[in-house]
């Protein structure tokens, strides 16, 4: 089996260069349409995963809309700066924000005045399910069923994830709670690469990773994915099962998508959704997904994306309070 490179590496220099060429050409075409440029607000710096995802959507999105699109980077506060800036912009359909799982956590933490009701979902761009993985060679758990049975029996499993208060931290808490278990030991690491290395080294018993983050050790047979917290199984890891397959109703992903203001007309939202949908079906965007270790199921329309946003914010708020991370 083969995987794309790590999610955080995003694109090769060749793809970026080609993309910039298309951006320049597209900009020249769309500016002639004499429409105001659409602001696409991101919380990431230039070259970050969210910034790249936004620009990849824009490559064809501006052509479909016959309207220029420009990135506005507002960094700080785990997305709070971007969300507060978004709130200050007029609801005229010419402002889009790239909304991520990090934004959902920040919103659930009460660190921004933005609410779910202030946003109109447009489309999802990427979706990378959380996966519980173990060391293939040293773990006593050889199947997903073994893992769940061991946890229910009371095995003391030490988990690893990326930092504190992140989607990984929440995943461990919510997974354990769904099984009727207290919060286990959780060790935070700087990133997915370090976590994968420490899982192989035996520093933790289980790790919360995306498939793209653990591509090399999974392919090498060092790390075994057991439980996928996604809507469905994943072809590259056929032995892993979804949490729902195991009787645990939990779906969590590292995700990104696009929203505009709730006051924007339904016609304009539909126009934006249609254009982005076409843009993300284009071979350029699909190649970006493949290169990021994702597949064609990542892009979804406004209805599915809106439900996911509400689910994330609704799930994270109470969990963060129970974890003692917010008052």
Query: Reduced to 3 DSSP states, what percent helix, strand and coil does the chain have, rounded to the nearest 5?
Result: 45, 20, 35
Indicate the residue among 246, 265, 283 that finishes a domain.
246
Mean pLDDT taken over the chain: 91
Give residue-wise pLDDT tens across range 59-77: 999 999 999 999 999 999 9
Q: Are residues 311 and 265 in the same domain?
A: yes
pTM (2 decimals)?
0.88
115 and 185 inside one domain: no
Q: For residues 126 and 48, is the Cβ–Cβ distance under 8 A?
A: no
Contact status, residue 124 vs residue 256, Cβ threshold 8 Å: yes
Using CA atoms, how far apart are residues 56 and 289, in angstroms rounded to an integer? Answer: 10
pLDDT greater than 70 at residue 23: no
From residue 141, alpha-carbon distances to 79, 129, 130, 288 in Å are 38, 21, 18, 34
3-state secondary structure 186-210: EEEECCHHHHHHHHHHCCCCEEEEC
pLDDT of residue 55 exceeding 90, the answer is yes
Task: Give yes or no: residues 136 and 216 share one domain.
Answer: yes
Within this chain, do residues 123 and 11 fall inside the same structural domain, yes or no?
yes
Q: Residue 195: CB partners within 8 Å, gap ≥ 6?
A: 160, 161, 162, 189, 204, 207, 208, 209, 213
pLDDT at residue 47 in the model: 86
Q: Is pLDDT at 307 greater than 60 in this prediction?
A: yes
pLDDT at 7 over 80: no
Q: How much is the pLDDT for 30?
A: 41
The domain tally of the chain equals: 2
Residues 6+ apart with CB under 8 A from 119: 97, 99, 259, 260, 261, 262, 309
- Please check whether residues 14 and 39 belong to one and the same domain: yes
Q: Which tens digits make up the pLDDT trace of 34-52? A: 789 999 999 988 888 899 9
- CA-to-CA distance for 261 and 96, rounded, in angstroms? 8
Kindly report the CATH number assigned to the domain that includes residue 216: 3.40.190.10
Count of Cβ atoms closer than 10 Å to residue 110 Cβ: 12
Does residue 308 sit within a domain? yes
Same domain, yes or no: 77 and 162: no
The predicted-structure confidence for 165-222, as pLDDT tens digits, reads as follows: 999 999 999 999 999 999 999 999 999 999 999 999 999 999 999 998 898 999 999 9
- Cβ atoms within 10 Å, residue 90: 10
Give Cα separations from 149 to 33, 142, 145, 155 (angstroms): 61, 11, 6, 9
pLDDT at 273 over 90: yes
Helices and strands in the chain: count of H runs, count of E runs: 11, 10
Residue 2 resides in a domain: no
Q: Which of 187, 119, 122, 179 is nearest to 154 (CA)?
A: 179
Final residue in a domain of this structure, among 246, 277, 300: 246
**For the segment 252-262, what is each residue's pLDDT rounded down to a tens digit?**
999 999 999 99
What's the confidence (pLDDT) of residue 12? 42
* Structural domain boundaries, residue 163: 128-246
pLDDT band at 33 (very low <50, low <70, confident <90, very high): low
Percent of the chain having pLDDT more than 90?
Answer: 83
d(CA 69, CA 39): 6
18 and 164 in a single domain? The answer is no
Residue 23: give its domain's CATH number. Answer: 3.40.190.150
Contact (Cβ atoms closer than 8 angstroms) between residue 40 and residue 7: no
Q: Do 182 and 228 meet the contact criterion of CB atoms below 8 Å apart? A: no
Last residue within a domain, chosen from 205, 220, 246: 246
261's tokens = 């203001």
């Amino acid at each position: 089996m083969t995987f794309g490179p790590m999610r955080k590496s995003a694109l090769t220099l060749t793809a970026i260069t080609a993309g910039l060429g298309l951006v320049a050409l597209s900009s020249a075409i769309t500016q002639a349409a004499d429409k105001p440029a659409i602001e696409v607000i991101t919380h990431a710096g230039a070259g970050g995963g969210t910034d790249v995802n936004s620009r990849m959507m824009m490559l064809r999105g501006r052509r479909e809309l016959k309207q220029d699109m420009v990135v506005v980077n507002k960094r700080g506060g785990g997305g709070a700066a971007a969300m507060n800036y978004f709130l200050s912009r007029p609801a005229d359909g010419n402002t889009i924000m790239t909304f991520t799982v990090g934004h959902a956590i920040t919103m659930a933490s009460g660190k921004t005045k933005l609410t779910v009701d202030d946003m109109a979902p447009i489309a999802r761009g990427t979706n990378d399910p959380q996966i519980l993985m173990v060391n293939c060679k040293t773990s006593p758990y050889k199947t997903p069923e073994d893992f769940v049975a061991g946890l229910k029996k009371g095995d003391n499993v030490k988990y690893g994830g990326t930092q504190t208060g992140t989607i990984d931290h929440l995943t461990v808490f919510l997974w354990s709670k769904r099984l009727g278990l207290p919060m286990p030991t959780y060790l935070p690491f700087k990133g997915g690469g370090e976590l994968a290395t420490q899982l192989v080294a035996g520093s933790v018993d289980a790790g919360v990773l995306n498939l793209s983050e653990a591509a090399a050790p999974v392919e090498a047979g060092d790390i075994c994915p057991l439980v996928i917290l996604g809507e469905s199984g994943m072809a590259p890891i056929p032995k892993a099962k979804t949490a729902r397959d195991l009787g645990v109703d939990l779906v969590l992903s590292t995700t990104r998508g696009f929203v505009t203001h709730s006051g924007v007309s339904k016609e304009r939202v539909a126009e934006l959704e249609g254009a982005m949908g076409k843009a993300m079906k284009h071979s350029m965007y699909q190649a970006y997904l493949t290169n990021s270790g994702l597949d064609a199921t990542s892009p979804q329309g406004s209805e599915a994306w809106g439900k996911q946003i509400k689910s994330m914010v609704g799930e994270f708020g109470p969990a963060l309070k129970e974890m003692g991370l917010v008052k």
